[in-house]
Amino acid sequence: MHIVVNTRLLLPKKLDGIGWFSHEVLSRLTKDLSDWKFTFLFDRPFDQDFIYGNNVEGKILHPQTRHPLLYQWYFERTIPHKLKRMNADLFFSPDGFLSTRARIKQVPVIHDINFEHRPQDLPRAYSNYYRKYFPQFAQIADRIITVSEYSANDIHETYGIAKDKISVAYNGYNTAYRVLSDGEKAKAKTEFAQGEDYFIFVGNFSFRKNIHGIIKAFEKYRSKGGSGKLLLVGNPLWRYTEMNDALKNCAFQDDVIFTGRLEIEKLILAMGGATALLFPSYFEGFGIPIIEAFAAGVPVITSNKTSLPEIAGNAAMISDPDNIEKISDNMLEIYHDENQRLTLKNKGLQRISSFSWEHTTNKVKEALFLSLNLTK
């Protein structure tokens, strides 16, 4: 079998959620299926570390996909032309993008369709592209993979896709996340929070991630007698005036620390040293930072929206993302109540056994076999 893979998000030192999914799954899949040929399609020079074996080759196509107009050119012109010449059996796309002009079996991983429900959170050019093409991608896909039962139901209901055409493959987590020693936690506090305790958020900064709500909850928590810092790990994804306004109006803005993107070794330290992860998003297809926090033994405060209760189970404190009062009360409870911290830590460590990249890869493999009418 010859599988062509869209690997445009395998970016060295810039892997985000979908990039990590691509890396973790493809590094395993290409080894498990060592007698298959894989061609990885990049849109810029690539790192040889992403060529996982002798059965993998990388090719660079143009243009670089930095804007919806370039998405359209790349996937509607460049990709089908290349696929026609390669005599491939299947096009696999871990970021969900397909080509409506390709005459080949195609399997996307559609992580979520937040843009259908919250188009206002994205620049118009992006939301217009996604809302035009993703319904088409869902219809032409031979099979769809997604990362939660919530997203599977959402794709089914929004796009009218039969449930038996959708496979669910939960995300895994980096097993380097672990419970830190007391000395490592002290090092994290010194390095990231001027020696103080801190709450942490990890992810891109956009409205649906509710960074403005996190800042407001931190301010409320501090006004009620809580102490420590707020660590925001990541970078802005789009223009985000609500976050800027919340920070400007925060009475404790000097205690809000922006780290930018952290390399994985630093991120493991920052997560493991935190008092709790704050992740009260409006919309998530999965929410990988939640299970990373579980693996680190760090309590989690998250949202009651979309997939988050499914992923968190009973191992997190859950509230409406707009309920700043409750989120701040949850922060106070975790900060002051050692028994609550220990309970959440233990529940999280138990919950993490439900997730692994090996399990994810097996589910992806099953979906590809079904698409190709093969038996394992």
Which residue, 144, 130, 134, is CA-closest to 92? 144
pLDDT > 90? residue 15:
no
> 133 falls in which pLDDT band (50, 70, 90)?
very high
Give the percent of the chain with pLDDT over 90: 96
Query: What would the mean pLDDT of 37-54 be, rounded to a whole number?
Result: 97
Written as six digits, the tokens of 254 are: 């000097």
Note the pLDDT of residue 149.
98
Closest CA to 196 of 227, 233, 217, 224: 227
- Predicted confidence (pLDDT) per residue in 47-76, tens digit: 999 999 999 999 999 999 989 999 999 999
**How confident is the model at residue 17, as a pLDDT?**
86
What percent of the chain is predicted at pLDDT more than 70?
Answer: 100
Across 171-193, average pLDDT: 97
| 4/145 Cα distance (integer angstroms) | 16
Kindly report the average pLDDT of the chain as a whole number: 96
Q: Which two tokens stand for residue 121?
A: 């959170």
- Taking CA atoms, 164 is separated from 160, 167, 178, 367, 371, in Å, by 12, 8, 37, 11, 12
Structural domains present in the chain: 2-172+356-371 (3.40.50.2000), 182-354 (3.40.50.2000)
Whether 374 has a pLDDT exceeding 90, the answer reads no
Q: What is the pLDDT of residues 230-257, one digit of tens each?
A: 999 999 888 899 999 999 999 999 999 9
pTM of the entire predicted model: 0.95
Residue 267 pLDDT: 96
Say which residues have a Cβ less than 8 Å from residue 131's Cβ, sequence separation at least 6.
115, 116, 119
* Predicted confidence band of residue 376 (pLDDT cuts 50, 70, 90): low
Dump pLDDT digits (tens) for 304-323.
999 999 999 999 999 999 99
Is the pLDDT at 114 greater than 70, yes or no? yes
Confidence of residue 169 (pLDDT cuts 50, 70, 90): very high
Inter-residue contact 208 to 283 (CB < 8 Å):
yes
The model's pLDDT over 78-95, given as tens digits with 9 standing for 90+, comes to 999 999 999 899 999 999
Phi, psi of 325 (to 5 degrees): -60, -50
